[in-house]
Amino acid sequence: MTEKRVCGRCKTAVRYEGTESKDPFSELPEEQRDWLREHCAVCSLDKEWPLVVMLDQDPDDIPCDFWDE
């Protein structure tokens, strides 16, 4: 299996953007939820299982075949 590195900042990534209805971490305990909202996103790449990934500060450094701003 090939490792897919992603930044979590493309349009396919689900992340908390201030709207609780779109929060992928809403069901988690508050302590984890707050940290994940700030540092992570959920990526669903090429019909695979969703992955929780760290948000990268510079998406240009991540070679992702699915990058689409």
User: Is 2 inside a domain boundary?
Assistant: no
69 occurs within a structural domain: no
Q: What is the pLDDT of residues 17-49, one digit of tens each?
A: 888 888 899 999 988 999 999 888 888 766 677
The tally of domains found in the chain comes to 1
Contact 40, 48 (CB under 8 A): no
- Residue 68, classed as helix, strand or coil, is coil
Domain presence at residue 67: no
pTM, rounded to two decimals: 0.66
Residue 29 in any domain: the answer is yes
- 25 domain-assigned: yes
Residues 6+ positions from 39 with CB-CB distance below 8 Å: 54, 55
CB 4, CB 47: distance < 8 Å: no
Read off the pLDDT of residues 10-20 as tens digits, 9 standing for 90 and up: 777 888 888 88
Structure tokens at 27: 């069901």
Determine, yes or no, domain membership for 66: no
Q: Which domain holds residue 38?
A: 13-61
